[in-house]
Structure 1
Amino acid sequence: MTDESKKPVAEQLINLKDDVNRIAERLGRLSCDNLKGSGERSIASPAPQVSVDAVAAALKARRLRVRYFHKNLFADPAWDMMLELLLAELIDRRMTVSRLCASAGVPATTALRWLNNMVQQRLLVRRDDPLDARRSFVELAPDTSSSLREYFREVG
């Protein structure tokens, strides 16, 4: 039995995902280097890698605020919703509209209003579930995802 097979499946999957991310990042750098040498421009630079732990810690810190300050002081759920969606993206989990609204920490009507505003501003993308007409999913728009990843790269 190898050392790898003794690890829990979840840990093996995380390690595999990290390996795939490293390979993808390396391929992206190689592609960019090849384009530079050929005089062509890269269409998009690879998105910075973001640690799931960093996003989870930011969410935890946001939630701890209400222990020290009145919750009405932080009634704007936009940042929390974007962090939840980034975390979902990083762990390859689809986020339903109802789950996102529930996780926002504000009344559902407020969360839904903010979600709709962010969709209109093209910060988020809402997609109908092809298997269940009553449900829809929400995800970060590509530019929003890139901006959040850059933010986490800068703040460390």
Structure 2
Amino acid sequence: MGDDGRATGGTFPTSADWHRAPDILAIVEERHRAAVEEVFDAVRGGSRAWTDWCGAIERLNQPGSAGIVVADARGVGEAELAVVLPLLDAFARGGGQRVIIVLDFEQIDSISAALAAPGIELLCAPTMAEYVAAVIVAGGGAGGVRDSGREAEAERLRQLHEQVARIAETLARLAGDVADPTLRESGREPGRESAREAGHVGEHGMRYRGPAPSAVAAPDITARDIRDAIRARRLRDQHFAGGLFEDPAWDMLLDLFAAELERSQVSVSSLCIAAAVAPTTALRWIAKLTDAGLFERQPDPFDRRRAYMALSARASAAMRAYVGAVQRIGTAIA
């Protein structure tokens, strides 16, 4: 093994060589190693170790494998993935360790179906800035980065987390209003306790509060109403600069709500398309909204390589409350 922690004389070092865990374990096929080395070179500090997907089986079965794992799955066959992905999932669960998996769009469904542990970051055909930022956020960079996009990407990750926290708290409050409108009269804010207990923190400044839900039944909510709203949102992109109206959380909530009303299923890749943003950004939002308790993963009982996404009961109740309130005041779904 070289001084930098890389294996020498082969892709996988023997167990005796691993006298201490590296900061980063890279699972990379030879054809992608140069690109991954460029990413790691942009991250100053930290020891590295390298293996291919075959060697990963032995490496991940050892205790104290690494601080974080970066697994580049692009072009890797399903048979190899089927063996290693559960080990990566267990690795992330074992000690709250971070795992970054780089994949192609065509692999989204099969790879996401095998992974359920928190702390796993999926990067779909990432740019250099996205790749570097993910390694830094995961804890792989000790001394800074030479990539100009790092600060912007890290700031975007921070803002994403804060936005999801606010969305979760707002939807929890909406669902609480529907469940028990008398809570407002008692001085308690519905949903605030559940959101906090789930570990979400939002801003508690000035907020708009609509009227309490009417006792009159809301008009029927149809999937067509929701699909029309989605089409209207996409029409904006034809008349304004791209990216101006990005709102992936709401776009995905609308898509899953429409699917619920249609009694249809939505794959992870399909939900990424509905988000109308880059796949890596969509995957990040899916993970955050799942952690927030708004989305649920539903494995396909007929195909273990596929998982579907759906609204949680809390999110579904909140969406129905929102659409019902919009219909009562006679305005369009935003």
What is the TM-score when the length of structure 1 is the normalising length? Answer: 0.65
Which residue, 259, 262, 279 being the options, matches 1:91? 262
Match in the other structure for 2:279: 108
Is 1:128–2:295 an aligned residue pair?
no
Residues 49 and 144 of structure 1, relative CA distance in 2, 3 Å threshold: farther
1: distance between equivalents of 2:324 and 2:291? 27
Which residue, 231, 236, 244 being the options, matches 1:65? 236
TM superposition shift of 1:147 = 0.7
2: distance between equivalents of 1:74 and 1:141? 25
Larger radius of gyration, structure 1 or 2?
2
Q: C-alpha deviations, 1:105-127, integer Å up to 9, x for none?
A: 11111111101100000011012
Q: Percent identity?
A: 41
Which residue, 76, 88, 91 being the options, matches 2:247? 76
Unpaired runs of 5+ in structure 2?
1-216, 328-334
Q: Is the contact made by 1:47 and 1:149 (CA closer than 8 Å) also made in structure 2?
A: no
2: distance between equivalents of 1:119 and 1:47? 28
Q: What are the equivalent positions in structure 2 for 1:1-156 lying under 5 Å apart?
A: 49-156=220-327
Match in the other structure for 2:98: none
TM superposition shift of 1:149 = 0.9
Q: Is the contact made by 2:226 and 2:254 (CA closer than 8 Å) also made in structure 1?
A: yes
1: distance between equivalents of 2:219 and 2:289? 23
Q: Is the contact made by 1:47 and 1:146 (CA closer than 8 Å) also made in structure 2?
A: no
Q: C-alpha deviations, 1:45-104, integer Å up to 9, x for none?
A: x99841222111111111111122222122231101010000100010011111111222
1: distance between equivalents of 2:248 and 2:236? 13
Residues 146 and 59 of structure 1, relative CA distance in 2, 3 Å threshold: same
Residues 82 and 48 of structure 1, relative CA distance in 2, 3 Å threshold: farther
Q: Is the contact made by 2:223 and 2:259 (CA closer than 8 Å) also made in structure 1?
A: no
Q: Is the contact made by 2:247 and 2:275 (CA closer than 8 Å) also made in structure 1?
A: no
Match of 1:73, SS state, is: coil
**Pairs aligned (count):** 111
Residues 119 and 87 of structure 1, relative CA distance in 2, 3 Å threshold: same
Report which stretch shifted further, 60-69 or 133-142. 60-69
Q: Which amino acid aligns with 1:139?
A: A
Match in the other structure for 1:42: none
Q: Is the contact made by 2:290 and 2:296 (CA closer than 8 Å) also made in structure 1?
A: yes
Q: Which amino acid aligns with 2:324?
A: R
1: distance between equivalents of 2:240 and 2:257? 25
Match in the other structure for 1:9: none
What is the TM-score when the length of structure 2 is the normalising length? Answer: 0.32
Looking at both structures, which has the greater relative contact order when contacts are Cα pairs under 8 Å and sequence separation is at least 6?
A: 1
TM superposition shift of 1:130 = 2.5
TM superposition shift of 1:142 = 0.7
Q: Which amino acid aligns with 2:308?
A: F
